[in-house]
Structure 1
Amino acid sequence: MNLTQLRSLIAVAEAGSVTAAAEAVGVTQSGMSQALAALEESLGVKLLVRRRHGVELTAFGDRALVHARAAVAHLDAIRREAADAMGEESGAIRIAAFPSVFATVLPPLLRRFRSRHPGIEVVALETDDREVMAWLEAGTVDLGVVLNPPADGDAILIGQDAWVGVLPAGHPLAGRRTLSLAALAAEPFVLATGGCHVHARTLAEAAGLSLPDIRVEVRDWASAIALVREGAGVGIVPESTLPEKRRGLGIVTLDPPLVRRFGLKSSPARATTRASSLLIDLARG
């Protein structure tokens, strides 16, 4: 049994397939398979069951995974403390966020961090906002960017984004500077979710409204804006997702205004490392 085998078990448990695990770790699929087979042989117990669409851990595999994660965490801690003793900055940070954060507030923060701490590896993982919370609670990542954190919580505010209405340029309401959420919700609507659980439908529901005439529902903000430009309906999108070229679009401010806030949060299931603390301090600063 060795560290490579333990890391392989952790990777395949998180990825759900040998192929995806090998890509995440940066080894060949055959190398990953050989490491897992060698680990099973050394233990004399089956760890994985091959399924049609991937692999699953056996009951013993689940128990072994707990020990594997603990062993790898302790070895990483030894390396970090050794680096600290030598006065070197090293380590790695796993940070999760949802797509629009990677397109707006997070890249400048990570660029500043890498310029100050080039010896620290930052692994950025993109998912939806609910899974960010799940990964934080499970300790899968060190840090995550959460949506609309409570004001009295421990998340550090790193940015915010206003919601705006988008309409076809020829729409009767397109010339208005501001519109209420109710006025937009009553129109034929193009709904985009952006990979988040907060979007136009949930904003309307929170205000006691509904979207009675949804013509199209898509995930991507850019697709929704393109459909609005073509006259498929109106929409509500984050301001940061608006294109530079806005010909064919009418943009209106919501009255009263609505914003979404982004907060950087540590995993409560993992000890905060020095590397993570440095990024938190930079975000707070």
Structure 2
Amino acid sequence: MDLQQLRYVVAVAETRNFTRAAERCLVVQSSLSHRIANLERELGVKLFARSSRRVELTSAGEAFLVGARECLTAADRAVADAAAATGVVRGTLAVGVIVTTAAVDVPEVLQRYRARHPDVRVLLRAGGSDELAAAVRRGDLDIAFLGLPEGARPPGVETLALDRDEHVLVVPTGHRLAGAARVTLLDIADETFVDFVAGTPARAQSDQAFAAAGLARDVAYEAGVAELITRLVARDLGVALLPSAFVRPLAAGDPELALVPVADGPRRVEYLAWGRFNPSPATRAMLDVLGVRGADPED
């Protein structure tokens, strides 16, 4: 058994197709199939159930895949650590980003990172704060940019507060409150709302604010993307509460939207999160680019 065989197994497991796996691994299909068949003979079990149309992991293959991924991760880390000892940062950096990130300009940060460490491959993943924090805890992501309700903190990871922000009310320009200097949650409780999907941290920020005020509201539309929320608002389908730092640049170029401050509205904190145990050289390099090297993780 060798690492290349493990890479072939992972590629087939992820693509569910020997041809696509071979293309990913830059080998001919016959070579990949032959190496996997040799591995199965060595192990004495079938890793894949094959037919003319389908490829699926067997129960033995599912069990083997876990260890195979762990071995490949350890091997990649060994290579990265060896390179870092000579002053060269290599390997992979997996970054999670919420769609409403505003505390940092992520593309600009990645541009600076690449200028310093061109040998690092960066993988980006968008998602909700809860799923991204869980991915950091599992080691599937190296760092993540999160947004959580004020007072909440992602458990099991190192965090640094990047910014604190208030939500604003987003309404169509023809709305009765479009020109208001400021509103309260009571003023808008009877409105129809567009918001993020229930159960997500992005949604919890508004839900908790209304609950704390003893108010109920009607959320008629749920969306996973902030830009879709603003488009629904522009069509006069409802109003929304969104982080001001994120939505102000969007509204500035959109004559169909108006923003109104909310006196007792939701507040959120944007965090940088990374794994507690032995960050990789690529992760430490990103922390350095972000200016948090040596920072107290509880700040």
**What TM-score comes out, normalization by structure 2 length?**
0.76
Alignment-derived partner of residue 163 in structure 1: 167
Mean Cα displacement is larger for which, 39-48 or 245-254?
Answer: 39-48
Could you give the per-residue CA deviations for residues 36-58 of structure 1, whole angstroms, max 9, x where no partner exists? 5554344331224579x986644
Mean Cα displacement is larger for which, 56-65 or 83-92?
Answer: 56-65
Per-residue deviation, 1:255: 0.9
Structure 2: any 5+ residue segments left out of the alignment? 294-299
Could you give the per-residue CA deviations for residues 15-61 of structure 1, whole angstroms, max 9, x where no partner exists? 47449x8599575895897365554344331224579x986644433
Alignment-derived partner of residue 140 in structure 1: 140
Identify the match of residue 245 of structure 1 among 247, 253, 260: 253
Q: Given that residues 251 and 259 in structure 2 are in contact (C-alpha distance below 8 angstroms), is that contact kept between their aligned partners in structure 1?
A: no
- 1:215 is matched by which residue type in structure 2? A
- 1:259 is matched by which residue type in structure 2? R
Question: What is the distance in 2 between the residues matched to 1:133 and 1:70?
Answer: 20
Mean Cα displacement is larger for which, 137-146 or 153-162?
Answer: 153-162
SS of aligned partner of 1:155: strand
Q: Given that residues 144 and 264 in structure 1 are in contact (C-alpha distance below 8 angstroms), is that contact kept between their aligned partners in structure 2?
A: yes
The residue correspondences of 1:1-285 to structure 2 (distance < 5 A) are 1-11=1-11, 15=14, 17-18=16-17, 22=21, 34=33, 36=36, 39-49=39-49, 57-101=57-101, 105-148=105-148, 150=153, 154-193=158-197, 196-199=200-203, 200-201=206-207, 203-205=209-211, 207-212=213-218, 214-239=219-244, 240-241=246-247, 242-268=250-276, 271-283=278-290, 284=292
Percent identical across equivalent pairs?
Answer: 28
Mean Cα displacement is larger for which, 138-147 or 94-103?
Answer: 94-103
**What TM-score comes out, normalization by structure 1 length?**
0.79
Structure 1: any 5+ residue segments left out of the alignment? none
Q: CA RMSD in A?
A: 3.7
Query: How many residues get paired?
Result: 280
Question: What is the distance in 2 between the residues matched to 1:107 and 1:274?
Answer: 20
Question: What is the distance in 2 between the residues matched to 1:26 and 1:203?
Answer: 50
SS of aligned partner of 1:198: helix
CA spacing shift, 1:146–1:166, aligned 2, 3 Å: closer
CA spacing shift, 1:128–1:39, aligned 2, 3 Å: farther
CA spacing shift, 1:126–1:249, aligned 2, 3 Å: closer
Question: What is the distance in 1 between the residues matched to 2:80 and 2:254?
Answer: 49
